[in-house]
Amino acid sequence: MLWAGINASFDRSQGAFSLTVRSATVRSAIGLDVLFVIDGLGAGGAERSLAELLGPLVERGHRPVIARFHDRGTGVEVEVRAAGHEVVAVPGRGALTRARMLRRLMRERRPDLVHSTLFAANLATRLALAGSSTPLLTSLVSTNYDATRRAGPVAGRRITAVQWVDRITAKRVDHFHAISEAVASDAARNLDIAAERMTVITRGRDRDRLGHPGDARRARVRDALGIAADAPVVLTTGREEHAKGHVHLVRATSILLDRHPDAVVLVAGRRGAASVAIDEAAKEAGVGASLRRLGHREDIGDLLSAADVFAFPSLWEGLGGATLEAMAMGLPVVASDLPVLRETLEPDGCARFVAPADPAALAHALAALIADPAARQTMGEAGRTRFESHHRQEVVAAAMIDLLEAVAGGGRRSAGHGGPPCDVHGSERSRRAATRSSPARNSSARSRRNPGSSGG
């Protein structure tokens, strides 16, 4: 599509963005060929978000193809293929080999737009498109280079090297999509990406996939899990990786059991790099059968229906997609006090926040909510309301497709970044959520580019 420009404004009285695109030639009338490149189609948030974007993209007349590097075995790939979407396996190992394979694929398919997600896919795609005029949109999905991450199990010097490569190759990207203000700030500070090259659009989730909570569903799922009807149940979801903070939840479980001996803590997610540490922590804490590690599960909606509280003890996040599912199902959340989680959860009282990596604080917050059904109900209702107003998949998908079309047509240089996070609302006037910095927002957008500024 050939665009004459993009105009956006934030209506503070309505708390909503509106986007107007002036087009010279409406290319989307005949549809776009969009190539999505991603590391794999596993069970992560980025993978889930891509899977749930494909259907609306086809409904708008576009033709997506997904190129992935790894066969994860579990996750969304079966679902994507079953829906009739084409998935191409990219052979080889290493960025250069994958870049060659991608370049060959791009020559064969001649996509109107390439979209990449996750570091390995981002790097290989940028190399593949070197010297090409095909537009590239990259989704930024995590705070990759903050201090907490540098203090994790991956050596700081390795992260610095990755950051250098990321910063240099990012120059090939035409436009960036950031899933939160926190991610956009991280990218501006650590990758030197100008504010006008980024658009913040939050994530959404498919309400129909999760279903709806109810007494009968709760009883059925608990019965299948062998959990008593009146037992307090805490749930967390996510692969067993250091970033998810499962070790701290395991240690918190031991403290929680002192106040609620019948409590059950469910951990749903496949094994990962932190699994051995979780094994050891569970043994040391002596939590026994009160901690149940369920492995990868497709029935997340059922598990959420069976739970009383959702725990999210992450050490870093890009948005916290699992909390969207908890909000959709009316579960109160106890989360690490991270800026991005306050951005997602705080405005409507959806969560209580505790210091990251603090098992005692986590246990006390969980215990307090278990003992307070009225607070759980109030927080759960607030979460449902926020989900409906900010994170319904059809609204978020429409905003993402608007951005894809704009970047494919050359509107990327006008597309901007600004406004409060998560301003993707359900009304028709605010369906288009790709935003542009207004004069009132320019100072804050500029400050994101300067690591030393107070606005960062």
Q: Please give the model's pTM, rounded to 2 decimal places.
A: 0.82
Give me the torsion for CA of 210, 340, 37, 131, rounded to 10°: 160
Count of domains in the chain? 2
Residue 147 pLDDT > 80: no
Tens of pLDDT, residues 265-284: 999 999 999 999 999 999 99
Tens of pLDDT, residues 31-89: 999 999 999 999 889 999 999 999 999 999 999 999 999 998 888 999 999 999 999 99
Around Cβ 193, how many Cβ atoms within 10 Å? 26
Residue 429 pLDDT > 70: no
- Is there a single domain that holds both residue 233 and residue 317? yes
At residue 209, the pLDDT reads: 92
- Is there a single domain that holds both residue 68 and residue 48? yes
- Is there a single domain that holds both residue 291 and residue 190? no
Asked if residue 23 is part of any domain, the answer here is yes
Average pLDDT of the segment spanning 362-366? 98
- Is there a single domain that holds both residue 317 and residue 405? no
- Is there a single domain that holds both residue 272 and residue 244? yes
- Is there a single domain that holds both residue 70 and residue 212? no
d(CA 158, CA 150): 9
446: tokens are: 């500029």
- Residue 154 pLDDT level (bands cut at 50, 70, 90): low
Average pLDDT of the segment spanning 4-24? 41
Asked if residue 445 is part of any domain, the answer here is no
Asked if residue 196 is part of any domain, the answer here is yes
- Is there a single domain that holds both residue 9 and residue 119? yes
Residue 26 pLDDT > 90: no
CATH code of 306's domain? 3.40.50.2000
Asked if residue 452 is part of any domain, the answer here is no
- Is there a single domain that holds both residue 330 and residue 194? no
Residue 17 pLDDT > 60: no
Helix/strand/coil (H/E/C) assignment for every residue in the chain? CEEEEEEEEEECCCCEEEEEEEEEECHHHCCCEEEEEEEECCCCHHHHHHHHHHHHHHHCCCEEEEEEEECCCCCCHHHHHHCCCEEEECCCCCHHHHHHHHHHHHHHHCCCEEEEECHHHHHHHHHHCCCCCCCEEEEECCCCCCHHHHCCCCCHHHHHHHHHHHHHHHHHCCEEEECCHHHHHHHHHHHCCCHHHEEECCCCECHHHHCCCCHHHHHHHHHHHCCCCCCCEEEEECCCCHHHCHHHHHHHHHHHHHHCCCCEEEEECCCCCCHHHHHHHHHHHCCHHHEEEEECCCCHHHHHHHCCEEEECCCCCCCCHHHHHHHHCCCCEEEECCHHHHHHHHHHCCEEEECCCCHHHHHHHHHHHHCCHHHHHHHHHHHHHHHHHHCEHHHHHHHHHHHHHHHHCCHHHCCECCCCCCCCCCCHHHCCCCECCCHHHHHHHHHHCCCCCCCC
* Residue 76 exposure: Cα atoms within 13 Å on the Cβ side: 25
Tens of pLDDT, residues 170-203: 999 999 999 999 999 999 999 999 999 999 999 9
Asked if residue 454 is part of any domain, the answer here is no
Tens of pLDDT, residues 391-420: 999 999 999 999 999 999 874 333 333 332
d(CA 410, CA 175): 10
- Residue 232 pLDDT level (bands cut at 50, 70, 90): very high
Residue 450 pLDDT > 70: no
- Is there a single domain that holds both residue 80 and residue 181? yes
Tens of pLDDT, residues 296-311: 999 999 999 999 999 9
Among residues 367, 390, 413, the one where a domain terminates is 390
Percent of the chain with pLDDT over 90: 76
Around Cβ 185, how many Cβ atoms within 10 Å? 25
At residue 392, the pLDDT reads: 94
At residue 8, the pLDDT reads: 40
Q: 222 Cβ partners below 8 Å, 6+ apart?
A: 228, 229, 231, 233, 306
At residue 148, the pLDDT reads: 75
- Mean pLDDT, the chain, as a whole number? 85
- Is there a single domain that holds both residue 382 and residue 423? no
Q: Which is more confidently placed, 30 or 51?
A: 51
At residue 410, the pLDDT reads: 75
Asked if residue 193 is part of any domain, the answer here is yes
Residue 29: give the domain boundaries. 2-205+392-439
At residue 155, the pLDDT reads: 60
At residue 158, the pLDDT reads: 84
Across 9-18, 37-46, 77-86, 222-231, least confident range: 9-18
What's the residue count for the chain?
456
At residue 153, the pLDDT reads: 66
Asked if residue 456 is part of any domain, the answer here is no
- Is there a single domain that holds both residue 412 and residue 370? no
Across 71-75, 146-150, 193-197, 235-239, least confident range: 146-150
- Is there a single domain that holds both residue 361 and residue 227? yes
Asked if residue 453 is part of any domain, the answer here is no
Calculate ∠ Cα 242-145-69, nearest 5°.
Answer: 70
Tens of pLDDT, residues 312-326: 999 999 999 999 999
According to DSSP, the residues that pair with 305 across neighbouring strands are none
Average pLDDT of the segment spanning 252-275? 96
Residue 261 pLDDT > 70: yes
Average pLDDT of the segment spanning 142-155? 75
Residue 5 pLDDT > 80: no
The answer to whether 109 and 33 have CB atoms below 8 angstroms apart is yes
